[in-house]
Structure 1
Amino acid sequence: MCGITGFIQWSGDLTQDSELLVRMTDSIAHRGPDGSGTWISNPCAFGHRRLSVIDPENGAQPMIIHQEEEVYAIVYNGELYNAAELKDELIRRGHRFNTKCDTEVLLVSYIEWGPDCLDRLNGIFAFAIWDSVREQVFLARDRVGVKPLFYSYIDGTLIFGSEPKALLQHPKVEPVVGPDGLAEVFIVGPARTPGHGVYRNVSELKPGQAMVFNQGGLRTYTYWKLTSRPHEDNVEQTAAHLRDLLYDTVERQLISDVPVCSLLSGGLDSSALSAIAVEYYKQTGQGQIHTYSVDYVDNDRHFQSHSFQPGVDAPWIKRMHEELETKHHWIEFDTPELVEALDVSTQKRDLPGMADVDASLLLFCREIKKGATVAISGEAADEIFGGYPWFHREEMLNAGTFPWSVAPDMRAGLLSPEIREWIRPLEYLSDRYSDAVAEVPTLAEESGQESKMRIMSYLNITRFMPTLLDRKDRMSMGVGLEVRVPYTDHRLIDYVWNVPWSIKTTGNREKGILRKALEGVLPEDVLYRKKSPYPKTHNPNYLTAVKQQVLSILDEPSSPILPLVDIAKIRELASSPDASSNLPWFGQLMSGPQLFAYLAQVNYWLKEYNVAIR
């Protein structure tokens, strides 16, 4: 895994901009602590930071291949999980290789097949390739958006990078946010609209999109998307196929020349990945798998069960690591650490994020990095299999908005009257929801309930899942840790997308078909355990700390957030007994403490990035 950046312009001498390219590259040094490289050859300036995972001795980037008069150059962030098969085919077609790294496989694949190489890739990636034959730069992002790729197209110059901070180093890209950007921050969240970069003139290449830039201009196109078709397999066949896919996916993603570990919560998703990994390591003689879990000081004392967090994880983590005989690492954080990490996690995202959920993941990844370079994690299973409570509640299925945005009036009420009038938050949210529903590839023969569930699945896969993947990428790469997410394999998502809801809920359970597919892989009590999400702190000291932080911000006349919010309303919330850890201010996802933590993040972001609102 790595960080990439660069810019392309068809006029001028880019060699005069070498210092600018270095600054852009250095801004994402955390993504690649093992090496740095730049390459300038008109019209391209490419920068790269490397985290060595495969073939650490070779594979430096930018990688250049010369074929007589032809020149191809690549900067690439990601992993190809079918690199071995692609390499064998390319060798049969007459190509020779100088490294064992998948960067060379990707570049040679492009040389052989051009942009059509995307159809052959199994992996997570964001890359840019200079092609002297076609005189173009070709950029692409993986099918479900595991790896980020932001860009700006200003005055004929294309500027790109793994993170907005790289673009913001370029003098043509300014930290300006307009009404749509503010609506993304305050009302659409936590899930950004696909392609929206929040900053003015900053966009994100969407999952499954590619881009061609030549002297004729800029063109983006979709090379992969969810496609609806009838599902022909019965329950038994579906479960068997899912199990085969999951085993193949995990085993591919365990290939590495550096240590690999597994994140273990004791729930269905992470336990399954850990169990398959342990089995594979035993078969290949690779020894003991290390597993990691996260919790918070005194959480056992303060925990209160609710629908999104029905129980504590610790007993189940112990159950699974003893069952699997892993080398387990218990990681625990206290309130001061979480509060301090709020600012750092905002820097990693270049935007306010998911408050303490971001902060704790950053700290968690930092601890994991001390013993591993690669981890596997269970993101995306709930989105594609329908695990969240909102898949199973009629009032949320019929809410007419995103299920994580079911309290928009309350959130809009936090804004100052002037900002509400300017950004029209409720209208903006309604439009984005309508856009999303209009995209859904429906099946004419589906029943009303199946159609409703397909819409809910689409919203989760294309809106909510990307924000969790973005969070995982930014917090993990923020400390130079690569996290692989097997449930995002496009073959798995494509197959499960068309499994009818009646089969997905086999046994009248959420994720019932996944549970059936894993029979015999996990102990039965773990297999049928109620879903529990990534843990949050329940310590009342956290509420006290973040509430006081926000009140201090409101007391400081120069705080940049003040013109944007209803100060009296926030003070009223802070003094209310309702400002507790169990009140879902932001739909079902952001509790009282998280609301105050989020407001603190917004203020820090506005100040640290010198954001102009206009």
Structure 2
Amino acid sequence: MAGIAGIARHGAAKEVEMMLGEINYRGRSRRHITEKDGITAGIIWNEHEDAFVKRSLENGEIGYNCGPGHYVRETIAGGKIRIYRDELGVAPLYYGKERSGSLCFASEVKSLLKVTNDVNEVPPGHYLDTAGLTSFYKIDTGKYLEKDPVQTATELQEYLRTAVAKCIRSEEAGSWLSGGLDSSSICALAAKQVRKLKTFTAGLKNAPDIKFAREMAQFLRSEHHEIVVSVEDLIRVLPEVIYHLESFDALLVRSSITNYLVAKLSSDHIDEVFSGEGGDELFAGYDYLKSVPLSSLEEELIKITGNLHNTALQRVDRCSAAHGITAHVIFANPDVVRFAFMIPARFKIFENTEKWILRKAMDGLLPEGVLNRPKAKFWEGAGIKDLISDYASEHITDSDFRKERILSDGWILNTKEELFYYRIFRDHFRTADDLRWMGRTKGSPIEVS
């Protein structure tokens, strides 16, 4: 995925060049810096992103997209700058005030830290200008379909198929595949639209994801690639993962390790991949949602969908960008999101079955074992479970945890595992003292020692 950086003042090309240098993996082959109306801005991108970026530049804008409706776009006119972030925040964007007082912005925190310690996140569906933030989008709710579940499932499958089709640029496509319902659904829809589908999986030996992904790949006759890792491999790659992820949130880091490794694997074979992220939030895939009253379920789904930008979608962005590829998040397609929130809650959890309407939509396209597979947390499916938590407990004493768990800005680290990640984070980002831009995953474990 491409990356941008800029400062709202003239003569800042050297600083912008330095900011882009911090995220050069987001665009190793293309770079453009411009000064216009007292504003300096730049973008880096990879060859497979040429069409959109060059079209933006021809229109006098700087921007990129990572799928239909997923974008960052910057316009400059009459000495005024305006930067837009897409509705769900699939594309990242941060901002702050440079030491001179000028507005600055970038795709990643590490880029901003080259010129300021004042780091803030542009919320999804907002644009930023020198006057501040303005919202231009919120999830539309309250318009429910008056259709039976068969019609609804048929339409849902068509929305997903169309969203996949819009991201296909050649006769080959790639997709991350865990063997769960969400990623398998996207793979099944993609396989019908390309000559060759390449699928990619990572996990520990005998992990459920490895088993189910093999089954799904065989069912689809995809060109399947997998990487089987050890605990030692996970520990060894952690500093890289946390550097790119820009977080020490325990559950987010856990789920990012194999995501990072599968992104690296896929980058050896293809430039763009599909991701199944977002299905749990749209269609009620988490087990705790079964205890939420149906009358409150939609409100909870809106909330957790709105929190994706600095948790799961951040993971997808950083893991793919680290290896120079673009990940297409089909469940975050704006048309899919709009349709999903028109589906009554009673079709999402039915007879205690999560994601019931999605399962119905994919009936006949997936093997029974995958279609009816219960939700597995990302790190559990990959076989990680509590392996790193146990490792952290062996290397951090109760005394150290008590002394270090409260951070200077008041944040409280929940577990020794999180402290283990935080120590690595601090090695990378020593000047990141204010963490208001960082997300925390719902349901993180808490440990008191």
TM-score range, shorter chain: 0.7 to 0.9
Deviations 1:358-406 (A, max 9, x none): 222212211211111111011000110001101113xxx4xxxxxxxxx
Aligned match of 2:121: 204
Aligned match of 1:102: none
Classify 1:358/1:462 alpha carbon distance in 2 versus 1 (closer, same or farther; 3 Å): same
CA contact (8 A) 1:31 1:480 kept: yes
Stretch moving more, 600-609 or 510-519? 600-609
Aligned match of 1:158: 103
**Hey, what's the Cα distance between the residues in 2 that align with 1:380 and 1:261?**
18
The aligned runs of 1:249-268 (5 Å cut-off) are: 249-255=163-169, 260-268=173-181
**Hey, what's the Cα distance between the residues in 1 that align with 2:160 and 2:385?**
37
Deviations 1:94-143 (A, max 9, x none): xxxxxxxxxxxxxxxxxxxxxxxxxxxxx2101212124xx421211111
The answer on 1:63 being equivalent to 2:53 is no
Classify 1:539/1:136 alpha carbon distance in 2 versus 1 (closer, same or farther; 3 Å): closer
**Hey, what's the Cα distance between the residues in 2 that align with 1:337 and 1:565?**
29
Deviations 1:516-547 (A, max 9, x none): 11122223332222222323444886455433
The answer on 1:455 being equivalent to 2:399 is no
Aligned match of 1:32: 27
The answer on 1:324 being equivalent to 2:220 is yes
Aligned match of 1:232: 146
Aligned match of 2:4: 4
The answer on 1:377 being equivalent to 2:275 is yes
The answer on 1:142 being equivalent to 2:95 is no
The answer on 1:220 being equivalent to 2:165 is no
The aligned runs of 1:476-491 (5 Å cut-off) are: 476-491=320-335
Aligned match of 1:609: 429
Q: CA deviation at 1:224?
A: 3.9
**What secondary structure is seen at the aligned counterpart in 2 of 1:280?**
coil
One-letter code of the match for 1:269? Answer: D
Aligned match of 2:354: 510
One-letter code of the match for 2:343? Answer: V
**What secondary structure is seen at the aligned counterpart in 2 of 1:392?**
helix
Classify 1:131/1:514 alpha carbon distance in 2 versus 1 (closer, same or farther; 3 Å): same
**What secondary structure is seen at the aligned counterpart in 2 of 1:355?**
helix
One-letter code of the match for 2:96? Answer: S
**Hey, what's the Cα distance between the residues in 1 that align with 2:161 and 2:432?**
49
Structure 2: state its 5+ residue gaps.
Answer: 408-412, 435-449
Aligned match of 2:342: 498
**What secondary structure is seen at the aligned counterpart in 2 of 1:483?**
strand
Classify 1:325/1:131 alpha carbon distance in 2 versus 1 (closer, same or farther; 3 Å): same
Aligned match of 1:129: 75
Classify 1:4/1:465 alpha carbon distance in 2 versus 1 (closer, same or farther; 3 Å): closer
Q: CA deviation at 1:227?
A: 3.0
Aligned match of 1:290: 198
**Hey, what's the Cα distance between the residues in 2 that align with 1:380 and 1:141?**
18
Q: CA deviation at 1:159?
A: 0.6
The aligned runs of 1:186-585 (5 Å cut-off) are: 201-213=118-130, 217-255=131-169, 260-281=173-194, 287-297=195-205, 299=206, 312-353=208-249, 354-393=252-291, 397=292, 449-464=293-308, 466-506=310-350, 508-534=352-378, 535-538=381-384, 542-543=388-389, 545-551=391-397, 554=400, 562-565=403-406
**Hey, what's the Cα distance between the residues in 2 that align with 1:507 and 1:613?**
47
**Hey, what's the Cα distance between the residues in 2 that align with 1:612 and 1:368?**
31
**What secondary structure is seen at the aligned counterpart in 2 of 1:519?**
coil
Q: CA deviation at 1:607?
A: 3.6
Structure exhibiting the larger radius of gyration computed from Cα positions: 1
Q: CA deviation at 1:452?
A: 1.5
**Hey, what's the Cα distance between the residues in 2 that align with 1:205 and 1:316?**
38
Aligned match of 2:442: none
CA contact (8 A) 1:290 1:327 kept: yes
Aligned match of 1:21: 16
Q: CA deviation at 1:356?
A: 3.0
Classify 1:256/1:38 alpha carbon distance in 2 versus 1 (closer, same or farther; 3 Å): farther
**Hey, what's the Cα distance between the residues in 2 that align with 1:136 and 1:514?**
45
Deviations 1:171-196 (A, max 9, x none): xx12xxxxxxxxxxxxxxxxxxxxxx
Deviations 1:133-155 (A, max 9, x none): xx421211111111111111466
TM-score normalised to structure 1 length: 0.64
The count of aligned residue pairs is 424
**What secondary structure is seen at the aligned counterpart in 1 of 2:147?**
coil
TM-score normalised to structure 2 length: 0.86
Q: CA deviation at 1:483?
A: 0.8
Identity among equivalent pairs (%): 24
Deviations 1:257-283 (A, max 9, x none): 9x53011122211111111111111xx
CA contact (8 A) 2:126 2:133 kept: no
Deviations 1:546-595 (A, max 9, x none): 3344349949xxxxx955449xxxxxxxxxxxxxxxxxx96xxxxxxxx4
**Hey, what's the Cα distance between the residues in 2 that align with 1:350 and 1:54?**
24
CA contact (8 A) 1:37 1:61 kept: no
Classify 1:612/1:256 alpha carbon distance in 2 versus 1 (closer, same or farther; 3 Å): same
**Hey, what's the Cα distance between the residues in 2 that align with 1:541 and 1:202?**
33
**Hey, what's the Cα distance between the residues in 2 that align with 1:612 and 1:529?**
41
**Hey, what's the Cα distance between the residues in 1 that align with 2:403 and 2:54?**
47
CA contact (8 A) 1:209 1:224 kept: no
Classify 1:150/1:473 alpha carbon distance in 2 versus 1 (closer, same or farther; 3 Å): same
Stretch moving more, 464-473 or 316-325? 464-473
CA contact (8 A) 1:369 1:481 kept: yes
Classify 1:228/1:203 alpha carbon distance in 2 versus 1 (closer, same or farther; 3 Å): farther
Aligned match of 1:103: none
**What secondary structure is seen at the aligned counterpart in 2 of 1:330?**
strand
Q: CA deviation at 1:612?
A: 6.6
What RMSD over aligned residues (CA atoms) do the two structures have, in Å?
Answer: 2.8
**What secondary structure is seen at the aligned counterpart in 2 of 1:223?**
coil
One-letter code of the match for 2:324? Answer: G
**What secondary structure is seen at the aligned counterpart in 2 of 1:331?**
strand
Aligned match of 1:76: 63
Q: CA deviation at 1:331?
A: 1.1
CA contact (8 A) 1:342 1:356 kept: no
Classify 1:75/1:374 alpha carbon distance in 2 versus 1 (closer, same or farther; 3 Å): same
**Hey, what's the Cα distance between the residues in 1 that align with 2:121 and 2:424?**
23
Q: CA deviation at 1:25?
A: 1.0
